[in-house]
């Protein structure tokens, strides 16, 4: 009996060790956070990252752990780190980021589908609630976000993020807003491709349709318009991958 118990314990320990290998480290979480800032447009191509001490303090990690995270991001092409007068880390250029996006999407095709399923589920519900609950101040914020469009990489990303954030705020659900932000931070729109393909007009029309339904407090129309918008963005990404 004792031998059997010991064998069972060894098996448990082996499974635990295998599971531990798949648990993200603090450096992994830090790298994912910085990558989400790039994806959301908070950090645009060429932008300098915050000073290491400041960024490490924000993330609640040690400078050593942050260096590991940045080293990982540099090896994948998301950031470049200089020396001497150019010391510090910067976000890579738009062409390099486009390559990073394509490489990530090819490796995680199943994840991309799942993320868009999550976005469709969450954001259609957010749009429904926004139409039900929005105030005049919420509507003004949505209109102001829609007016932010600028045909630059940083401008497009921040315009898109500001619009979706304003709609989420109008839904008055912190939980749904948090899930939406997490999903959006996992991948980003290949904006350089969007600019070349003149798809910004289409995205802008989608935003206008969503805003119009929210203004009219038509929950069903707002939800439908948001669903069509998420589908259109997914189609754009799939088209870019095929090329």
Q: Report pLDDT digits (tens) over 127-172.
A: 999 999 999 999 999 999 999 887 666 677 778 888 999 999 999 9
| CATH number for domain 2-92, candidates 3.40.50.150, 1.10.10.10, 3.40.140.10, 3.30.200.20 | 1.10.10.10
* Confidence at residue 57, expressed as pLDDT on a 0 to 100 scale: 92
Please report, for the chain, the start and end positions of each structural domain, with discontinuous segments joined by +: 2-92, 97-242
Yes or no: say if 12 and 58 are a contact pair by the CB < 8 Å rule.
Answer: no
Q: Print pLDDT tens along the chain (243 aa).
A: 444 444 444 444 444 444 445 678 999 989 988 888 887 667 878 889 988 889 899 889 999 999 999 999 999 999 998 776 566 889 998 788 878 877 877 777 777 788 889 999 999 999 999 999 999 999 999 999 999 887 666 677 778 888 999 999 999 999 999 998 888 777 665 554 554 545 778 888 999 999 999 999 999 999 999 999 999 888 877 776 676
> What pLDDT, on the 0 to 100 scale, is given for residue 21?
52
Burial of 211 (C-beta count, 10 Å sphere; 0-12/13-18/19+): buried
Burial class (CB in 10 A: 0-12, 13-18, 19+), 135: exposed
CATH superfamily of 97-242: GntR ligand-binding domain-like (1.20.120.530)
């Amino acid at each position: 009996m004792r031998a059997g118990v010991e064998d069972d314990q060894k098996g448990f320990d082996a499974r635990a060790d295998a599971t531990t290998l798949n648990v993200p480290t603090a450096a992994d979480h830090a790298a994912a956070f910085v990558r989400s800032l790039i994806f959301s447009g908070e950090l645009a191509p060429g932008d300098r990252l915050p000073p290491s001490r400041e960024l490490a303090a924000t993330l609640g990690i040690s400078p050593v752990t942050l260096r590991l995270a940045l080293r990982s991001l540099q090896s994948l092409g998301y950031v470049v780190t200089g020396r001497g007068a150019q010391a510090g880390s910067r976000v890579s250029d738009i062409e390099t980021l486009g390559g990073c996006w394509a490489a990530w999407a090819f490796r995680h095709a199943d994840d991309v589908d799942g993320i868009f399923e999550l976005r469709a589920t969450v954001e259609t519900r957010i749009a429904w609630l926004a139409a039900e609950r929005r105030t005049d101040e919420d509507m003004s914020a949505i209109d102001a976000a829609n007016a932010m469009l600028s045909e630059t990489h940083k401008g497009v990303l921040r315009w898109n993020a500001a619009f979706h954030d304003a709609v989420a705020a109008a839904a008055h659900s912190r939980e749904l807003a948090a899930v939406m932000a997490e999903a959006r931070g996992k991948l980003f729109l290949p904006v350089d491709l969007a600019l070349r393909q003149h798809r910004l007009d289409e995205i802008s029309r989608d935003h206008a349709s969503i805003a119009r339904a929210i203004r009219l407090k038509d929950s069903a129309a707002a939800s439908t318009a948001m669903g069509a918008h998420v589908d259109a963005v997914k189609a754009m990404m799939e088209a870019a991958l095929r090329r």
